[in-house]
Structure 1
Amino acid sequence: MAVKGRFLFRLFAASMALGIGFICYYRLRLLPVASGKLERWAWIGLFHCELWFSFYWFLTVICRWNPVYRFPHKNRLSLRYEKELPGVDIFVCTADPSAEPPSMVMNTVLSVMAYDYPPEKLNIYLSDDGASELTFYAMLEASSFSKQWLPFCKKFKVESRSPEAYFRTAVEPDSHHPLMLKHWLLVKKLYEEAKMRVEMKQIPEEIREWNLVSSRNDHQTIFKILIAADAEGNVLPTLVYLAREKRPQFHHHFKAGAMNAL
Protein backbone atom coordinates (compact mmCIF):
# COMPACT_ATOMS: atom_id res chain seq x y z
CA MET A 1 0.00 0.00 0.00
CA ALA A 2 1.11 3.56 -0.64
CA VAL A 3 2.62 5.34 2.33
CA LYS A 4 1.94 9.02 2.86
CA GLY A 5 5.04 11.19 2.85
CA ARG A 6 7.27 8.63 1.10
CA PHE A 7 8.24 11.08 -1.65
CA LEU A 8 9.07 13.81 0.87
CA PHE A 9 11.17 11.41 2.91
CA ARG A 10 13.13 10.31 -0.16
CA LEU A 11 13.66 13.94 -1.14
CA PHE A 12 14.92 14.70 2.36
CA ALA A 13 17.20 11.63 2.28
CA ALA A 14 18.63 12.67 -1.08
CA SER A 15 19.41 16.15 0.25
CA MET A 16 21.09 14.62 3.31
CA ALA A 17 23.17 12.33 1.09
CA LEU A 18 24.22 15.31 -1.01
CA GLY A 19 25.22 17.22 2.12
CA ILE A 20 27.23 14.25 3.44
CA GLY A 21 28.96 14.00 0.08
CA PHE A 22 29.97 17.68 0.24
CA ILE A 23 31.32 17.19 3.78
CA CYS A 24 33.42 14.19 2.72
CA TYR A 25 34.75 16.12 -0.27
CA TYR A 26 35.58 19.05 1.98
CA ARG A 27 37.46 16.85 4.46
CA LEU A 28 39.48 15.09 1.77
CA ARG A 29 40.12 18.18 -0.35
CA LEU A 30 41.35 20.37 2.49
CA LEU A 31 43.24 17.81 4.55
CA PRO A 32 45.86 19.84 6.47
CA VAL A 33 49.30 18.74 5.37
CA ALA A 34 51.49 21.66 6.31
CA SER A 35 49.87 22.11 9.72
CA GLY A 36 51.08 20.56 12.92
CA LYS A 37 50.65 16.92 13.81
CA LEU A 38 47.98 17.65 16.44
CA GLU A 39 45.80 19.60 14.02
CA ARG A 40 46.10 16.88 11.38
CA TRP A 41 45.03 14.11 13.77
CA ALA A 42 42.14 16.22 15.05
CA TRP A 43 41.01 16.71 11.44
CA ILE A 44 41.27 12.97 10.74
CA GLY A 45 39.38 12.15 13.96
CA LEU A 46 36.53 14.44 13.02
CA PHE A 47 36.46 12.90 9.56
CA HIS A 48 36.20 9.40 11.03
CA CYS A 49 33.32 10.51 13.27
CA GLU A 50 31.52 11.95 10.27
CA LEU A 51 32.10 8.74 8.31
CA TRP A 52 30.63 6.70 11.16
CA PHE A 53 27.62 8.99 11.34
CA SER A 54 27.19 8.70 7.57
CA PHE A 55 27.33 4.91 7.76
CA TYR A 56 24.76 4.82 10.58
CA TRP A 57 22.50 7.23 8.71
CA PHE A 58 22.80 5.10 5.58
CA LEU A 59 21.63 1.99 7.48
CA THR A 60 18.59 3.78 8.91
CA VAL A 61 17.64 5.17 5.50
CA ILE A 62 17.81 1.70 3.94
CA CYS A 63 15.33 0.41 6.52
CA ARG A 64 12.94 3.29 5.94
CA TRP A 65 13.37 3.75 2.18
CA ASN A 66 10.58 1.40 1.13
CA PRO A 67 8.50 0.47 4.20
CA VAL A 68 5.94 -2.31 3.96
CA TYR A 69 2.89 -2.41 6.21
CA ARG A 70 0.91 -5.61 6.65
CA PHE A 71 -2.55 -5.75 8.15
CA PRO A 72 -4.18 -9.05 9.13
CA HIS A 73 -7.70 -9.75 7.95
CA LYS A 74 -9.17 -10.75 11.29
CA ASN A 75 -12.32 -12.11 9.73
CA ARG A 76 -10.27 -14.61 7.72
CA LEU A 77 -7.97 -15.89 10.45
CA SER A 78 -10.57 -18.10 12.09
CA LEU A 79 -11.74 -19.50 8.75
CA ARG A 80 -8.22 -20.32 7.64
CA TYR A 81 -6.60 -21.52 10.86
CA GLU A 82 -9.55 -22.66 12.95
CA LYS A 83 -8.34 -26.27 13.13
CA GLU A 84 -4.80 -25.16 14.03
CA LEU A 85 -5.71 -22.68 16.75
CA PRO A 86 -4.55 -23.76 20.23
CA GLY A 87 -6.72 -23.98 23.29
CA VAL A 88 -6.87 -20.81 25.35
CA ASP A 89 -7.38 -20.62 29.12
CA ILE A 90 -8.47 -17.29 30.59
CA PHE A 91 -8.18 -16.65 34.32
CA VAL A 92 -10.53 -14.18 36.00
CA CYS A 93 -9.79 -13.46 39.65
CA THR A 94 -12.03 -11.96 42.31
CA ALA A 95 -11.71 -11.86 46.07
CA ASP A 96 -14.23 -9.52 47.66
CA PRO A 97 -17.85 -9.27 46.45
CA SER A 98 -18.28 -5.93 48.21
CA ALA A 99 -15.32 -4.37 46.36
CA GLU A 100 -15.90 -6.30 43.13
CA PRO A 101 -19.68 -6.57 42.65
CA PRO A 102 -20.77 -9.97 41.30
CA SER A 103 -22.70 -8.25 38.50
CA MET A 104 -19.43 -6.69 37.33
CA VAL A 105 -17.69 -10.07 37.53
CA MET A 106 -20.56 -11.56 35.53
CA ASN A 107 -20.05 -8.95 32.81
CA THR A 108 -16.33 -9.64 32.74
CA VAL A 109 -16.89 -13.36 32.31
CA LEU A 110 -19.51 -12.84 29.60
CA SER A 111 -17.23 -10.51 27.67
CA VAL A 112 -14.40 -13.06 27.54
CA MET A 113 -16.81 -15.90 26.75
CA ALA A 114 -17.90 -13.88 23.70
CA TYR A 115 -14.39 -13.73 22.22
CA ASP A 116 -14.22 -14.39 18.49
CA TYR A 117 -12.53 -17.74 19.01
CA PRO A 118 -13.61 -21.37 18.57
CA PRO A 119 -15.77 -21.94 21.68
CA GLU A 120 -14.65 -25.55 22.15
CA LYS A 121 -11.08 -24.27 22.56
CA LEU A 122 -11.91 -21.47 24.98
CA ASN A 123 -11.96 -22.07 28.74
CA ILE A 124 -12.70 -19.43 31.37
CA TYR A 125 -11.65 -20.05 34.97
CA LEU A 126 -13.05 -17.87 37.72
CA SER A 127 -11.04 -17.88 40.93
CA ASP A 128 -13.26 -16.68 43.78
CA ASP A 129 -10.91 -16.16 46.70
CA GLY A 130 -13.76 -14.85 48.80
CA ALA A 131 -15.83 -18.05 48.45
CA SER A 132 -18.95 -15.97 47.93
CA GLU A 133 -22.17 -17.80 47.16
CA LEU A 134 -23.41 -14.65 45.46
CA THR A 135 -20.44 -14.70 43.08
CA PHE A 136 -21.13 -18.35 42.32
CA TYR A 137 -24.78 -17.54 41.69
CA ALA A 138 -23.67 -14.76 39.32
CA MET A 139 -21.67 -17.37 37.40
CA LEU A 140 -24.76 -19.56 37.13
CA GLU A 141 -26.65 -16.59 35.74
CA ALA A 142 -23.78 -15.84 33.35
CA SER A 143 -23.77 -19.43 32.12
CA SER A 144 -27.52 -19.32 31.53
CA PHE A 145 -27.53 -15.88 29.89
CA SER A 146 -24.59 -16.79 27.64
CA LYS A 147 -26.94 -19.10 25.71
CA GLN A 148 -28.60 -15.98 24.33
CA TRP A 149 -25.80 -13.43 24.56
CA LEU A 150 -23.09 -15.29 22.62
CA PRO A 151 -25.26 -16.13 19.57
CA PHE A 152 -26.54 -12.54 19.62
CA CYS A 153 -22.97 -11.16 19.55
CA LYS A 154 -21.98 -13.51 16.74
CA LYS A 155 -25.07 -12.96 14.62
CA PHE A 156 -25.14 -9.16 14.80
CA LYS A 157 -21.36 -8.62 15.15
CA VAL A 158 -21.59 -6.88 18.51
CA GLU A 159 -18.29 -5.19 19.29
CA SER A 160 -18.69 -4.31 22.94
CA ARG A 161 -18.98 -7.84 24.29
CA SER A 162 -19.83 -6.77 27.85
CA PRO A 163 -23.64 -6.63 28.14
CA GLU A 164 -23.55 -3.73 30.60
CA ALA A 165 -21.31 -1.63 28.35
CA TYR A 166 -23.22 -2.58 25.21
CA PHE A 167 -26.73 -1.79 26.42
CA ARG A 168 -25.53 1.42 28.09
CA THR A 169 -24.20 2.85 24.82
CA ALA A 170 -26.08 1.01 22.06
CA VAL A 171 -29.05 2.62 20.37
CA GLU A 172 -32.21 0.57 20.08
CA PRO A 173 -32.62 -0.69 16.49
CA ASP A 174 -35.38 0.94 14.48
CA SER A 175 -38.40 -0.78 12.97
CA HIS A 176 -36.61 -1.19 9.64
CA HIS A 177 -34.67 -4.09 11.19
CA PRO A 178 -37.43 -6.14 12.85
CA LEU A 179 -35.31 -9.26 13.36
CA MET A 180 -32.53 -7.43 15.16
CA LEU A 181 -35.04 -5.38 17.14
CA LYS A 182 -36.77 -8.55 18.34
CA HIS A 183 -33.52 -10.17 19.43
CA TRP A 184 -32.21 -6.92 20.92
CA LEU A 185 -35.25 -6.44 23.14
CA LEU A 186 -35.26 -10.09 24.21
CA VAL A 187 -31.57 -10.17 25.12
CA LYS A 188 -31.77 -6.84 26.93
CA LYS A 189 -34.74 -8.04 28.95
CA LEU A 190 -32.99 -11.29 29.89
CA TYR A 191 -29.86 -9.41 30.92
CA GLU A 192 -31.73 -6.90 33.07
CA GLU A 193 -33.62 -9.73 34.78
CA ALA A 194 -30.41 -11.68 35.45
CA LYS A 195 -28.66 -8.57 36.74
CA MET A 196 -31.59 -7.74 39.01
CA ARG A 197 -31.62 -11.25 40.49
CA VAL A 198 -27.90 -11.01 41.23
CA GLU A 199 -28.11 -7.54 42.74
CA MET A 200 -31.20 -8.46 44.77
CA LYS A 201 -29.35 -11.59 45.98
CA GLN A 202 -32.15 -13.93 44.95
CA ILE A 203 -30.03 -17.02 45.52
CA PRO A 204 -31.93 -20.30 45.09
CA GLU A 205 -31.97 -22.73 47.97
CA GLU A 206 -30.48 -25.58 45.94
CA ILE A 207 -27.02 -24.03 46.23
CA ARG A 208 -25.91 -26.17 49.18
CA GLU A 209 -22.13 -25.99 49.03
CA TRP A 210 -22.01 -22.90 51.23
CA ASN A 211 -23.72 -24.65 54.14
CA LEU A 212 -20.28 -25.95 55.10
CA VAL A 213 -18.52 -22.61 54.63
CA SER A 214 -17.95 -21.14 58.07
CA SER A 215 -16.03 -18.11 56.79
CA ARG A 216 -14.15 -16.93 53.73
CA ASN A 217 -10.90 -18.10 55.36
CA ASP A 218 -12.14 -21.49 56.56
CA HIS A 219 -13.88 -23.67 53.99
CA GLN A 220 -13.47 -26.68 51.75
CA THR A 221 -12.72 -26.55 48.03
CA ILE A 222 -15.69 -25.61 45.87
CA PHE A 223 -15.19 -26.58 42.26
CA LYS A 224 -17.85 -26.43 39.57
CA ILE A 225 -17.65 -26.90 35.81
CA LEU A 226 -20.40 -25.07 33.96
CA ILE A 227 -20.72 -26.21 30.35
CA ALA A 228 -23.59 -24.76 28.38
CA ALA A 229 -24.99 -24.96 24.88
CA ASP A 230 -27.08 -22.35 23.14
CA ALA A 231 -30.66 -22.77 21.92
CA GLU A 232 -29.42 -24.43 18.72
CA GLY A 233 -27.23 -26.93 20.54
CA ASN A 234 -23.92 -25.27 19.69
CA VAL A 235 -21.15 -25.69 22.24
CA LEU A 236 -20.26 -22.63 24.30
CA PRO A 237 -16.95 -21.92 26.06
CA THR A 238 -16.34 -23.85 29.26
CA LEU A 239 -16.86 -21.87 32.44
CA VAL A 240 -15.16 -23.15 35.59
CA TYR A 241 -15.74 -21.81 39.11
CA LEU A 242 -13.15 -22.43 41.82
CA ALA A 243 -13.02 -21.37 45.45
CA ARG A 244 -9.85 -22.99 46.77
CA GLU A 245 -9.68 -24.57 50.18
CA LYS A 246 -8.63 -22.30 53.03
CA ARG A 247 -7.80 -23.13 56.62
CA PRO A 248 -6.82 -20.70 59.40
CA GLN A 249 -3.73 -22.70 60.32
CA PHE A 250 -2.29 -22.46 56.79
CA HIS A 251 -1.23 -19.28 55.02
CA HIS A 252 -3.19 -18.85 51.79
CA HIS A 253 -0.62 -16.55 50.07
CA PHE A 254 -3.28 -14.21 48.73
CA LYS A 255 -3.52 -13.88 44.91
CA ALA A 256 -0.42 -16.01 44.31
CA GLY A 257 -2.05 -18.91 46.12
CA ALA A 258 -5.23 -18.48 44.10
CA MET A 259 -3.31 -18.57 40.83
CA ASN A 260 -1.38 -21.65 41.95
CA ALA A 261 -4.67 -23.39 42.70
CA LEU A 262 -5.82 -22.69 39.17
Structure 2
Amino acid sequence: MGSNHKHISTSIIIKTIINQFIYQIKSRNLSITIKFIILPDQDQIYQEFYQQLLHSHEQQDNQLINYDEILSTWDLSDETRKRLIVSFDSNEYKAVHDEFYQSMKGKMKKIIQIERIQNQRWYFQYLAHKKDFFKRLNKNTEKRLYHASKFKLNNSIINDCFNRSFAGLHGTSYGMGVYFSSDPSYCHHYAKPNSNGERSMFIAQVLIGETILGNSSMKTRPPGYDTTTDGNHIFVTYHDAQAYAQYLITYK
Protein backbone atom coordinates (compact mmCIF):
# COMPACT_ATOMS: atom_id res chain seq x y z
CA MET A 1 0.00 0.00 0.00
CA GLY A 2 1.39 3.38 -0.93
CA SER A 3 0.59 6.95 -1.84
CA ASN A 4 1.90 9.34 -4.44
CA HIS A 5 1.74 12.06 -1.81
CA LYS A 6 4.30 11.26 0.83
CA HIS A 7 2.91 13.73 3.37
CA ILE A 8 -0.47 11.97 3.54
CA SER A 9 -0.37 9.76 6.62
CA THR A 10 -1.02 6.02 6.69
CA SER A 11 -4.02 6.74 8.94
CA ILE A 12 -5.65 8.98 6.31
CA ILE A 13 -5.03 6.43 3.54
CA ILE A 14 -6.55 3.57 5.57
CA LYS A 15 -9.55 5.69 6.57
CA THR A 16 -10.08 6.54 2.92
CA ILE A 17 -9.96 2.87 1.89
CA ILE A 18 -12.41 1.80 4.59
CA ASN A 19 -14.77 4.74 3.95
CA GLN A 20 -14.78 3.95 0.24
CA PHE A 21 -15.73 0.31 0.87
CA ILE A 22 -18.47 1.32 3.31
CA TYR A 23 -19.94 3.77 0.84
CA GLN A 24 -19.84 1.36 -2.12
CA ILE A 25 -21.49 -1.43 -0.09
CA LYS A 26 -24.24 0.84 1.23
CA SER A 27 -24.97 2.78 -1.98
CA ARG A 28 -25.01 -0.33 -4.19
CA ASN A 29 -26.68 -2.61 -1.64
CA LEU A 30 -23.91 -5.17 -2.08
CA SER A 31 -23.71 -8.48 -0.24
CA ILE A 32 -20.00 -9.25 -0.25
CA THR A 33 -17.16 -10.11 2.10
CA ILE A 34 -14.05 -7.93 2.02
CA LYS A 35 -10.71 -9.19 3.31
CA PHE A 36 -7.62 -7.06 3.90
CA ILE A 37 -4.38 -9.00 3.44
CA ILE A 38 -1.48 -7.52 5.42
CA LEU A 39 2.04 -8.92 5.41
CA PRO A 40 3.36 -10.27 8.75
CA ASP A 41 6.03 -7.57 9.05
CA GLN A 42 3.52 -4.73 8.60
CA ASP A 43 2.40 -4.54 12.22
CA GLN A 44 1.84 -0.78 12.17
CA ILE A 45 -0.52 -1.09 9.20
CA TYR A 46 -2.31 -4.02 10.88
CA GLN A 47 -2.84 -2.01 14.07
CA GLU A 48 -4.14 0.97 12.09
CA PHE A 49 -6.64 -1.20 10.19
CA TYR A 50 -7.67 -2.87 13.44
CA GLN A 51 -8.38 0.45 15.17
CA GLN A 52 -10.27 1.88 12.19
CA LEU A 53 -12.42 -1.22 11.73
CA LEU A 54 -13.04 -1.44 15.48
CA HIS A 55 -14.69 1.97 15.45
CA SER A 56 -16.27 1.77 12.00
CA HIS A 57 -19.71 0.66 13.22
CA GLU A 58 -20.20 3.65 15.51
CA GLN A 59 -18.89 6.01 12.84
CA GLN A 60 -20.99 4.76 9.90
CA ASP A 61 -24.13 6.78 10.61
CA ASN A 62 -22.25 10.07 10.78
CA GLN A 63 -20.17 9.15 7.74
CA LEU A 64 -23.21 8.43 5.59
CA ILE A 65 -24.77 11.76 6.56
CA ASN A 66 -21.63 13.51 5.37
CA TYR A 67 -21.55 11.49 2.16
CA ASP A 68 -25.11 12.57 1.37
CA GLU A 69 -24.19 16.26 1.53
CA ILE A 70 -22.20 16.03 -1.69
CA LEU A 71 -22.66 12.52 -3.06
CA SER A 72 -26.44 12.81 -3.21
CA THR A 73 -25.97 14.99 -6.31
CA TRP A 74 -23.47 12.66 -8.00
CA ASP A 75 -24.13 10.53 -11.06
CA LEU A 76 -22.32 7.26 -10.36
CA SER A 77 -23.36 5.53 -13.59
CA ASP A 78 -19.89 6.19 -15.03
CA GLU A 79 -17.23 6.42 -12.33
CA THR A 80 -14.50 7.28 -14.87
CA ARG A 81 -16.02 10.71 -15.47
CA LYS A 82 -14.77 13.39 -13.10
CA ARG A 83 -16.57 16.45 -14.49
CA LEU A 84 -20.26 16.53 -15.38
CA ILE A 85 -22.29 19.50 -16.61
CA VAL A 86 -25.04 20.47 -14.15
CA SER A 87 -28.45 20.72 -15.81
CA PHE A 88 -29.65 24.31 -16.30
CA ASP A 89 -33.12 23.50 -14.98
CA SER A 90 -32.00 21.75 -11.77
CA ASN A 91 -32.20 23.11 -8.22
CA GLU A 92 -28.50 22.35 -7.92
CA TYR A 93 -27.69 24.68 -10.84
CA LYS A 94 -29.95 27.44 -9.51
CA ALA A 95 -28.35 27.38 -6.05
CA VAL A 96 -24.80 27.65 -7.41
CA HIS A 97 -25.77 30.17 -10.12
CA ASP A 98 -27.66 32.53 -7.80
CA GLU A 99 -24.94 32.59 -5.14
CA PHE A 100 -22.21 33.30 -7.71
CA TYR A 101 -24.23 35.78 -9.79
CA GLN A 102 -25.22 37.93 -6.81
CA SER A 103 -21.60 38.26 -5.70
CA MET A 104 -20.30 38.97 -9.22
CA LYS A 105 -22.63 41.79 -10.30
CA GLY A 106 -20.74 44.16 -12.58
CA LYS A 107 -17.90 41.65 -13.07
CA MET A 108 -19.55 39.26 -15.54
CA LYS A 109 -22.17 39.05 -18.29
CA LYS A 110 -23.28 35.44 -18.03
CA ILE A 111 -22.46 31.96 -16.76
CA ILE A 112 -21.57 29.61 -19.61
CA GLN A 113 -21.80 26.37 -17.63
CA ILE A 114 -21.45 24.83 -14.19
CA GLU A 115 -19.67 21.50 -13.85
CA ARG A 116 -19.87 19.17 -10.87
CA ILE A 117 -16.55 17.57 -9.91
CA GLN A 118 -16.79 13.87 -9.03
CA ASN A 119 -13.39 12.67 -7.87
CA GLN A 120 -14.08 9.89 -5.38
CA ARG A 121 -10.44 9.37 -4.41
CA TRP A 122 -9.94 12.99 -3.40
CA TYR A 123 -13.37 13.40 -1.87
CA PHE A 124 -12.86 10.48 0.50
CA GLN A 125 -9.40 11.74 1.46
CA TYR A 126 -10.95 15.14 2.16
CA LEU A 127 -13.74 13.53 4.19
CA ALA A 128 -11.27 11.57 6.32
CA HIS A 129 -9.31 14.78 6.90
CA LYS A 130 -12.54 16.57 7.85
CA LYS A 131 -13.27 13.96 10.50
CA ASP A 132 -9.77 14.38 11.93
CA PHE A 133 -10.34 18.14 12.14
CA PHE A 134 -13.65 17.67 13.96
CA LYS A 135 -12.16 15.15 16.39
CA ARG A 136 -9.25 17.47 17.16
CA LEU A 137 -11.16 20.77 17.34
CA ASN A 138 -14.63 19.54 18.39
CA LYS A 139 -16.23 21.93 15.90
CA ASN A 140 -16.96 22.17 12.18
CA THR A 141 -14.64 24.68 10.49
CA GLU A 142 -15.57 23.86 6.90
CA LYS A 143 -16.20 26.83 4.57
CA ARG A 144 -17.45 27.11 1.00
CA LEU A 145 -14.85 29.25 -0.79
CA TYR A 146 -13.75 30.26 -4.29
CA HIS A 147 -10.51 29.69 -6.19
CA ALA A 148 -9.80 31.30 -9.57
CA SER A 149 -7.96 29.22 -12.14
CA LYS A 150 -6.45 29.32 -15.61
CA PHE A 151 -8.12 26.97 -18.09
CA LYS A 152 -4.90 25.01 -18.66
CA LEU A 153 -4.73 24.17 -14.94
CA ASN A 154 -8.35 23.05 -14.47
CA ASN A 155 -7.81 19.38 -15.30
CA SER A 156 -4.86 19.22 -12.93
CA ILE A 157 -7.00 20.53 -10.05
CA ILE A 158 -9.85 18.17 -10.94
CA ASN A 159 -7.55 15.13 -11.08
CA ASP A 160 -5.12 15.96 -8.27
CA CYS A 161 -7.02 18.58 -6.27
CA PHE A 162 -5.35 21.67 -4.77
CA ASN A 163 -1.90 20.19 -4.17
CA ARG A 164 1.12 22.24 -3.15
CA SER A 165 2.23 22.74 -6.76
CA PHE A 166 -0.35 25.55 -6.81
CA ALA A 167 1.21 27.27 -3.80
CA GLY A 168 2.03 30.89 -4.52
CA LEU A 169 0.18 31.14 -7.85
CA HIS A 170 -2.12 33.82 -6.38
CA GLY A 171 0.62 35.61 -4.47
CA THR A 172 2.33 35.04 -1.15
CA SER A 173 1.09 37.99 0.92
CA TYR A 174 -0.40 35.71 3.58
CA GLY A 175 1.82 32.65 3.21
CA MET A 176 3.20 30.22 0.60
CA GLY A 177 0.09 28.08 0.20
CA VAL A 178 -3.04 27.69 -1.91
CA TYR A 179 -5.35 30.71 -1.77
CA PHE A 180 -9.14 30.73 -1.39
CA SER A 181 -11.63 33.53 -0.79
CA SER A 182 -15.26 33.83 0.27
CA ASP A 183 -15.56 36.70 -2.25
CA PRO A 184 -15.67 35.56 -5.90
CA SER A 185 -15.36 39.16 -7.13
CA TYR A 186 -11.90 39.23 -5.52
CA CYS A 187 -10.93 35.91 -7.13
CA HIS A 188 -12.14 37.26 -10.49
CA HIS A 189 -8.92 39.30 -10.83
CA TYR A 190 -6.92 36.05 -10.88
CA ALA A 191 -9.22 34.29 -13.38
CA LYS A 192 -7.37 34.84 -16.65
CA PRO A 193 -9.64 34.78 -19.76
CA ASN A 194 -9.11 32.39 -22.65
CA SER A 195 -9.19 33.40 -26.32
CA ASN A 196 -13.01 33.53 -26.19
CA GLY A 197 -13.04 35.84 -23.19
CA GLU A 198 -14.23 33.04 -20.89
CA ARG A 199 -12.97 32.68 -17.32
CA SER A 200 -13.15 29.83 -14.82
CA MET A 201 -13.52 29.61 -11.06
CA PHE A 202 -13.83 26.69 -8.64
CA ILE A 203 -16.17 26.46 -5.68
CA ALA A 204 -14.43 24.40 -3.01
CA GLN A 205 -15.15 22.93 0.40
CA VAL A 206 -12.23 24.05 2.58
CA LEU A 207 -11.21 23.01 6.10
CA ILE A 208 -10.13 26.17 7.92
CA GLY A 209 -9.30 24.67 11.31
CA GLU A 210 -7.29 26.98 13.53
CA THR A 211 -6.27 30.04 11.54
CA ILE A 212 -3.78 32.85 12.13
CA LEU A 213 -2.93 36.11 10.39
CA GLY A 214 -0.44 35.32 7.64
CA ASN A 215 2.46 37.21 6.10
CA SER A 216 4.76 36.85 3.09
CA SER A 217 7.57 35.23 5.09
CA MET A 218 5.50 32.15 6.00
CA LYS A 219 6.51 29.02 4.06
CA THR A 220 3.88 26.98 5.92
CA ARG A 221 1.41 27.49 8.74
CA PRO A 222 2.86 27.85 12.27
CA PRO A 223 2.61 24.88 14.68
CA GLY A 224 -0.87 24.60 16.15
CA TYR A 225 -2.55 26.21 13.15
CA ASP A 226 -4.09 24.82 9.97
CA THR A 227 -4.46 27.90 7.76
CA THR A 228 -3.31 31.49 7.47
CA THR A 229 -5.60 34.41 6.65
CA ASP A 230 -5.86 38.11 5.90
CA GLY A 231 -8.28 38.35 8.81
CA ASN A 232 -11.22 38.86 6.48
CA HIS A 233 -12.08 36.78 3.39
CA ILE A 234 -8.80 35.12 2.31
CA PHE A 235 -7.68 31.72 3.61
CA VAL A 236 -4.48 29.87 2.71
CA THR A 237 -4.17 26.07 2.98
CA TYR A 238 -1.02 23.93 3.25
CA HIS A 239 -2.28 20.35 2.93
CA ASP A 240 -3.44 18.57 -0.23
CA ALA A 241 -6.51 16.99 1.40
CA GLN A 242 -7.61 20.23 3.09
CA ALA A 243 -9.82 21.37 0.20
CA TYR A 244 -12.11 19.63 -2.27
CA ALA A 245 -13.12 21.19 -5.61
CA GLN A 246 -16.89 20.73 -5.79
CA TYR A 247 -17.89 22.84 -8.81
CA LEU A 248 -16.19 24.53 -11.76
CA ILE A 249 -17.93 27.64 -13.11
CA THR A 250 -17.17 28.92 -16.63
CA TYR A 251 -18.34 32.50 -17.23
CA LYS A 252 -17.66 35.66 -19.22
- Normalising by structure 2, report the TM-score: 0.24
Structure 1 or 2, whichever has the larger Rg, is 1
Greater percentage in helix: 1
